[in-house]
């Protein structure tokens, strides 16, 4: 078997005797890609005993990890066929599909390569959300195409990945203007790595080089202003249990104060907005629906998958698209272990603080040209205006948001 070196979060593993989702994803990616490279021909079949050996070795090395989590082979139970499953199997299928997509004949070389002239049908394929660049460098066409082909077929070594990612920025933006962000994730497997978000942050900083610095400068002051507005509102309305609870755990520490300030945005909006949904219906949001859309919490990491499925089913029932969102993991708001950014396109990114989660999720919205979640739209607009100090011709404001921004400016 191939020897693989992997760095895991030993602090989390030692405490919980379980790998994080990020470490599992990284480990499985390394195993699958290493075995495929050894195989030579990607269309050959790797016997199931290879994957079974890997799952057993993982369970031996990391006590608490179940081998069934990583690989369960095809088998028959009571005459019923049970397909192969597990993280290794899922990664193998995803990897093969990505490579197959690169090898298929493109329907339109101009639009798919991203290195030729702009497609006249781009506006029909993908509705613009963000003010992405309209002018591109048109040099080094051959290297550009070679790098794009490489990026759409593999993701290692990572130093090469980062270099080729940056060198194809202009070409990839052309592609992004023509496809959904979910399709974009499928085309570039490097985005599915545990640190794939660094590629998107790099894109965001290329277009908006000062925005993240603005966030770091503005956030401490905006946090204090939000907490003051919450305290003022609690003073005038002592029966508002939600605000009293927020102020209570805001005193538990700096991280809790930041979470309280962000959740307080929902409580401070004078009224919830409405969202137009299919069949000419209007969705009148509650504060709980807005809060969960903006920043939800689950007790343990094992519930991430269930929550994601439920959220996607809820969005489907409303006829609204799935967008990236933040999910806090911990038994209470006073005790959060980590934050997961769920992309709904496959990969999940993990960070340790709420500031990192907000900044990264915001970067994803703009780097992927996707809209804010409809239910939490005012929250993200406030973050955009007050914390990142950004505006665009695509912005939409409501009266409650303008009032809250005005209150923040007056403090």
Kindly provide the b/e burial profile for residues 8-27, where b requires at least 16 CB atoms within 10 angstroms of the residue's own CB. Answer: bbeebbeeeebbbbbbbbbb
pLDDT in tens, 308-350: 999 999 998 888 999 999 999 999 999 999 999 999 777 899 9
**Statement: the pTM of the whole predicted model exceeds 0.85:** no
Half-sphere exposure of 319 (CA within 13 A, CB side): 9
Structural element, H or E, at residue 81: strand 80-82
Q: Are 200 and 363 in contact (CB under 8 A)?
A: yes
- Cβ of 51: how many Cβ atoms within 10 Å? 22
- What are the Cα distances from residue 166, in Å, to 200, 211, 391? 10, 19, 25
SS3 77: strand
Site of tokens 């770091």: 216
Structural element, H or E, at residue 275: strand 274-277
Helix, strand counts (H, E) of the chain: 20, 8
SS3 335: strand
Using DSSP bridges, classify how beta strands 80-82 and 348-351 pair: parallel, antiparallel or unpaired.
unpaired
> How far is Cα of residue 275 from the mean position of the Cα atoms in its chain?
23
Bridge partners, 342 (sequence order): 325, 348
Give the residue ranges of DSSP H helices in 84-168: 87-103, 109-113, 122-125, 141-151, 158-167
Q: Are 122 and 111 in contact (CB under 8 A)?
A: yes
For 361, residues 6+ apart whose C-beta sits below 8 A from its C-beta are: 324, 325, 326, 341
pLDDT in tens, 361-408: 999 999 999 899 999 999 999 999 999 999 988 888 888 999 999 999
- Judged by average pLDDT, the poorest of 131-145, 170-184, 267-281 is 131-145
The predicted model gives 272-298 an average pLDDT of 88
- Cβ of 166: how many Cβ atoms within 10 Å? 14
Annotated domain spans of the chain: 10-91, 113-207, 211-410
Q: What is the pLDDT of residue 6?
A: 55
The packing angle between helices 158-167 and 197-207, to 10°, is 30
d(C-alpha 88, C-alpha 25), whole Å: 9
Q: What is the pLDDT of residue 261?
A: 97
d(C-alpha 195, C-alpha 226), whole Å: 32
DSSP 373: P
């Amino acid at each position: 078997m191939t020897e693989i070196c992997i760095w895991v979060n030993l602090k989390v593993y030692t405490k919980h005797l379980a790998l994080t989702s990020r470490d599992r994803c990284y480990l499985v990616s390394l195993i699958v890609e290493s075995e495929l490279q050894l195989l030579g021909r990607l269309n050959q079949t790797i016997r199931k005993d290879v994957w079974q050996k890997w799952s057993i070795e993982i369970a031996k090395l990391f006590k608490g990890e179940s081998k069934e989590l990583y690989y369960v082979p095809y088998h028959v139970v009571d005459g019923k066929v049970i397909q192969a499953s597990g993280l290794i199997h899922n990664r193998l299928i995803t990897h093969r599909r990505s490579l197959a997509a690169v090898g298929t004949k493109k329907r339109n070389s101009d639009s798919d390569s991203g290195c030729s002239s702009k497609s006249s049908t781009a506006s029909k394929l993908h509705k613009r959300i963000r003010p992405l660049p309209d002018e591109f460098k048109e040099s080094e066409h051959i290297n550009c195409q070679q790098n794009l082909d490489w990026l759409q077929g593999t993701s290692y070594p990572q130093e090469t990945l980062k270099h080729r990612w940056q060198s194809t920025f202009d070409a990839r933006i052309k592609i992004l203007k023509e496809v959904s962000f979910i399709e974009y994730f499928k085309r570039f497997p490097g985005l599915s790595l545990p640190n794939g978000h660094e590629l998107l942050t790099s894109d965001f900083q290329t277009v908006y080089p000062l925005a993240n610095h603005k966030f770091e400068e503005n956030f401490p002051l905006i946090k204090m202003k939000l907490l003051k507005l919450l305290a003022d509102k609690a003073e005038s309305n002592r029966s508002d249990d939600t605000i009293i609870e927020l102020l209570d755990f805001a005193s538990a520490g700096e991280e809790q104060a930041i979470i309280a300030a962000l959740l307080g945005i929902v409580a401070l909006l004078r009224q919830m907005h409405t969202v137009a949904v299919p069949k000419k219906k209007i969705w009148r949001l509650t504060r709980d629906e807005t809060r969960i859309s903006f920043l939800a919490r689950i007790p343990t990491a094992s519930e991430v998958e269930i929550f994601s499925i439920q959220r996607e089913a809820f969005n489907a029932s409303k006829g609204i698209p799935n967008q990236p969102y933040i999910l806090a993991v911990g038994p209470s708001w006073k005790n959060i272990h980590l934050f997961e950014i769920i992309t709904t396109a496959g990969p999940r990114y993990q960070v340790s603080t709420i500031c990192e989660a907000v900044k990264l999720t915001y970067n994803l919205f703009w780097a992927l040209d996707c809209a804010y979640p409809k239910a939490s739209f005012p929250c993200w607009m406030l973050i955009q205006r007050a914390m990142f100090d950004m505006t665009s011709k695509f912005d939409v404001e409501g009266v409650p948001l303008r009032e809250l921004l005005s209150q923040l400016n007056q403090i």
